[in-house]
Amino acid sequence: MSHEPLIAIVDDDESVRDAVQTLLESTGRRTVAFASAEQFLASPALSTAQCLILDLRMPGIDGVELLRRMLAANHRIPTIILTAHADEVERARALAAGAMAFLPKPFRPAFLLEAVEASLRRASNASDNPGGS
Residue 132's pLDDT band, with cuts at 50, 70 and 90, is: very low
Quick one: pLDDT at residue 126?
A: 78
73: exposed, middle or buried (C-beta count within 10 Å: 0-12, 13-18, 19+)? exposed
Per residue in 29-56, pLDDT tens? 999 999 999 999 999 999 999 999 999 9
Q: Could you give the strand order of the β-sheet that contains 51-55, starting from the edge strand earlier in sequence?
A: 30-34, 6-10, 51-55, 79-83, 101-104
Does the pTM of the predicted model rise above 0.95?
no
Per residue in 91-109, pLDDT tens? 999 999 999 999 999 999 9
Quick one: pLDDT at residue 130?
A: 54
The CATH superfamily holding the domain 6-124 is: Response regulator (3.40.50.2300)
Quick one: pLDDT at residue 1?
A: 46
Residue 55 near residue 82, CB atoms below 8 Å: yes
Domain boundaries, the chain: 6-124
